[in-house]
Chain A
Amino acid sequence: MPDKAEAFNLDEFLQKHFHQMSEEEIQKTLERLTRQYNEKYDREDFSVVADGPQHGVKFAYALNLSKCIGCRKCVHACVEENNQHRGTEERGDQVEYIRVLEMEKGSLDVEKAVHDYDHEVPAEGKYYMPVQCHHCNDAPCVKACPVEATWQEPDGIVVVDYNWCIGCRYCAAACPYWARKFNWVEPRLPAEEINPDTHYLGNRPRYKGVMEKCTFCINRVRKGLNPACHDICPTGSRKFGNLLDPDSVIRTIIETKRIYILKEEVGTDPSFYYFFD
Chain B
Amino acid sequence: MFTGGRRYYLWLAFLSVLIGLGVLAYYRQTVHGLGVTGMTDQVSWGLYIANFTFLVGVAAAAVMMVIPGYLYHNQEVKGGVLLGEMVAIGAIVMCLLFVVADLGRPDRMWHMIPPFGKFNFPESMLAWDVLVLNGYLLLNLHVPGYLLYKRYRGEEPAKWMYLPFVYISIVWAISIHTVTAFLYTGLAGRPYWNAAILAPRFIASAFCAGPAFIILILEIVKGWTRFPMGNRVISFLRMVVLISGLINVFLLVSELFTEFYADSAHVASARYLFFGLHGHNALVPWIWTSIVMNVLALLALVSRKFESRGVVVRNIPLLMLIVAIWIEKGMGLVFPGFIPTPLGEIVEYMPSGNEVMVTLGIWGIGLFIMTVLLKHAVDIETGEVSPPDK
Which residues on B sit within 8 Å (CB–CB) of A143?
120, 123-124
Please give the number of chain A residues whose Cβ is less than 8 angstroms from any Cβ of chain B in the complex: 54
Which residues on B sit within 8 Å (CB–CB) of A146?
112, 119-120, 124, 126-127, 130
Decide: A266 near B344, CB < 8 A? Known: A144-B124, A209-B104, A209-B105: no
The answer on a CB contact under 8 Å between A173 and B107 is no
The answer on a CB contact under 8 Å between B343 and A99 is yes
B320 → A minimal CB distance (Å)? 30
Decide: A168 near B343, CB < 8 A? Known: A146-B120, A146-B124: no
Which residues on B sit within 8 Å (CB–CB) of A166?
103-106, 108-109, 111-112
Q: Which residue of A lies closest to B118 (CB)?
A: A148
Interface: A158 (CB within 8 A): no
Interface: A57 (CB within 8 A): no
Interface: B33 (CB within 8 A): yes
Q: CB < 8 Å: which of A111, A164, A168, A209 contacts B340?
A: A111
B52 → A minimal CB distance (Å)? 11
Decide: A112 near B344, CB < 8 A? Known: A182-B44, A183-B33, A184-B35: yes
Bitwise interface map of B from 94 to 111 toward A, beta carbon under 8 Å scored 1, else 0? 000001001111111101
Which residues on A sit within 8 Å (CB–CB) of B104?
165-169, 182-183, 208-211
Cα A63 to Cα B326 in complex, Å, equals: 44
The answer on a CB contact under 8 Å between B103 and A185 is no
Which residues on B sit within 8 Å (CB–CB) of A184?
33-35, 37, 39-41
Interface: A2 (CB within 8 A): no
Which residues on B sit within 8 Å (CB–CB) of A168?
99, 102-104, 126
Which residues on B sit within 8 Å (CB–CB) of A112?
344
Q: For chain B residues 334-380, which have a beta carbon within 8 Å of chain A?
A: 337-338, 340-345
Which residues on A sit within 8 Å (CB–CB) of B189?
140, 174-177, 263, 266, 268
Cα A181 to Cα B44 in complex, Å, equals: 9
Contact residues of B: prevailing secondary structure = loop
The answer on a CB contact under 8 Å between A91 and B126 is no
Cα A7 to Cα B185 in complex, Å, equals: 40
Which residues on B sit within 8 Å (CB–CB) of A256?
none
Which residues on B sit within 8 Å (CB–CB) of A20?
118
Q: Which residue of B lies closest to A185 (CB)?
A: B35
A44 → B minimal CB distance (Å)? 28
B196 → A minimal CB distance (Å)? 16
Q: For chain A residues 120-161, which have a beta carbon within 8 Å of chain B?
A: 131, 140, 143-149
B346 → A minimal CB distance (Å)? 9
Which residues on B sit within 8 Å (CB–CB) of A232?
none
Which residues on B sit within 8 Å (CB–CB) of A180?
41
B118 → A minimal CB distance (Å)? 4
Cα A272 to Cα B352 in complex, Å, equals: 37
Cα A12 to Cα B223 in complex, Å, equals: 55
B352 → A minimal CB distance (Å)? 11
Interface: B190 (CB within 8 A): yes
A260 → B minimal CB distance (Å)? 15
Which residues on B sit within 8 Å (CB–CB) of A118?
none
The answer on a CB contact under 8 Å between B33 and A176 is no
Which residues on A sit within 8 Å (CB–CB) of B109?
166
15 residue pairs bridging A and B, Cβ less than 8 Å apart: A88-B35, A91-B35, A111-B340, A146-B112, A147-B118, A147-B119, A164-B108, A165-B108, A167-B105, A169-B44, A186-B33, A208-B104, A266-B188, A268-B188, A268-B189
